[in-house]
């Protein structure tokens, strides 16, 4: 398997009848970049910038962030580099932000909700992103969106960041695309409304599954219920992709489901433009894409959509796509 992986690094992820899917990598910082390229990623679909904020005593400066974003953008070359604004809170607390302890941190003060209340955190990050965007194809992604008002507020901050950079005489890219994570049921259901303010969507199934099924993603006692193939989740994913395409924007996925070989045929059939995953998952997903025709993918999706139960879907996909060694 290892040798085959290395051989397919340079090949595109394209079905037997020519449908192309972009396979990108998820990273936590510049140090992950070389490994991502080794596995043949075509760009970065999720840079989790909160890792720059963790394991330290203070907010990383604009300059520190600029350097990190620039390095990653440069290594992506012509490919897109989707950088997500800080997603602290939930399972990733941060003592120096002095967020009060909450009874339900996953339903609380996290991610964009913090950024919109804390210009001292958000503005330096946006300034760093705008400046680094000169060096590559950076796109800005907002986490944990539930409504269009949040996107508009974030864009107002982006304009403020540009204004400050102009005053300071610092160079920046004026045309950076802005997209959102689709990781709440609210966003997935109203994707048609949100698409009007977005340049792209990326579906975060890790959170989307937990919020849709009301199953904590980190609680082992309920983990048998945590199933990304639940018909409710599949419908939300399909709805999101359709809304994106109806509005002429691309849709990707950066949750764990993107790297699950059992999901590949379904996601291709739904018209996913990009899949972003942990780098070692890329060769296997690529191998599956290259073996399938879009007709086979569509057949699999039709069969799955006729099923009523999450476990039934998973069992069916396991039988169909698990490789026997």
Annotated binding site for Mg(2+): 183, 207
- The DSSP letter of residue 92 is B
Regarding 50 and contact with Mg ion (CB under 5 A), the answer is: no
Regarding 183 and contact with ligand PEP (CB under 6 A), the answer is: yes
Regarding 206 and contact with ligand PEP (CB under 6 A), the answer is: yes
CA–CA distance, 57 with 91 (Å, rounded to integer) = 18
SS3 90: coil
Let me know: does 163 contact 202? Beta carbons within 8 Å. Answer: no
CA-based Rg of the chain, rounded to a whole angstrom? 19
- Of 121, 191, 254, 282, the one binding ligand PEP (CB under 6 A) is 254
Catalytic residue check, 198: no
Q: Report in angstroms how near the CB of residue 263 gets to ligand PEP at its nearest.
A: 13
CA–CA distance, 23 with 15 (Å, rounded to integer) = 13
Binding mask 209-248 for ligand PEP (x = CB under 6 A): ----------------------------------------
Bridge partners of 82, per DSSP, are: 139
Q: Report in angstroms how near the CB of residue 144 gets to Mg ion at its nearest.
A: 7
* Closest to 73 in 3D by CA, of 155, 222, 177: 177
Stretch that binds Mg ion, among 1-9, 54-62, 180-188, 307-315 (CB under 5 A): 180-188
Stretch that binds ligand PEP, among 29-37, 198-206, 233-241, 295-303 (CB under 6 A): 198-206
Q: Write down the catalytic residue from 41, 76, 254, 297.
A: 254
CA–CA distance, 169 with 194 (Å, rounded to integer) = 33
Using N-to-C axis directions, what is the helix angle for 148-168 and 119-132, rounded to 10°?
Answer: 70
- The DSSP letter of residue 172 is -
Regarding 183 and contact with Mg ion (CB under 5 A), the answer is: yes
Residues at the contact surface with ligand PEP, assessed by CB under 6 A: 46, 48, 87, 183, 204-207, 254-255
**Binding residues for Mg ion (CB under 5 A):** 183, 204, 207
> Which active-site residues does the annotation give?
254
């Amino acid at each position: 398997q290892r040798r085959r992986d290395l051989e397919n690094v340079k090949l595109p992820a394209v079905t037997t009848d020519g449908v192309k899917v972009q396979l990108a990598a998820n990273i936590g910082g510049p140090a992950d970049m070389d490994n991502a390229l080794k596995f043949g990623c075509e760009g970065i679909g999720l840079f989790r910038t909160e890792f720059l904020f963790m394991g330290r005593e203070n907010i990383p400066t604009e300059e520190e962030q600029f350097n990190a974003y620039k390095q990653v953008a440069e290594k992506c070359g012509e490919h897109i580099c989707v950088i997500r604004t800080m997603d602290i809170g939930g399972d990733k607390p941060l003592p120096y932000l002095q967020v009060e302890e909450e009874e339900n941190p996953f339903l609380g003060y996290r991610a964009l909700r913090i950024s919109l209340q804390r210009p001292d955190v958000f503005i330096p990050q946006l300034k760093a992103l705008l400046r680094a965007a000169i060096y590559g194809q950076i796109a800005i992604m907002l986490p944990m969106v539930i409504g269009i008002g949040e996107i508009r507020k974030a864009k107002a901050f982006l304009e403020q960041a540009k204004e400050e950079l102009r005053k300071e005489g610092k160079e920046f890219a004026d045309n950076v695309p802005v997209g959102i994570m689709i990781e709440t049921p609210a966003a997935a259901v109203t994707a048609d409304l949100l698409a009007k303010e977005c340049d792209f969507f990326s579906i975060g199934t890790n959170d989307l599954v937990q919020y849709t099924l009301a199953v904590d993603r980190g609680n082992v006692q309920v983990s048998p219920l945590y199933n990304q193939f639940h018909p409710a989740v599949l419908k939300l994913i399909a709805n999101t992709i359709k809304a994106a395409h109806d509005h002429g924007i691309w849709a990707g996925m950066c949750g764990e489901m993107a790297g699950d070989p059992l999901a590949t045929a379904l996601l291709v059939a739904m018209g996913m433009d990009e899949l972003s995953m942990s780098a070692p998952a890329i060769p296997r997903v690529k191998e599956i894409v290259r073996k399938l025709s879009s007709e086979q993918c569509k057949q699999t999706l039709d069969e799955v959509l006729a099923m009523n139960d999450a476990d039934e879907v998973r069992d069916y996909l396991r039988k169909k796509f698990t490789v026997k060694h």
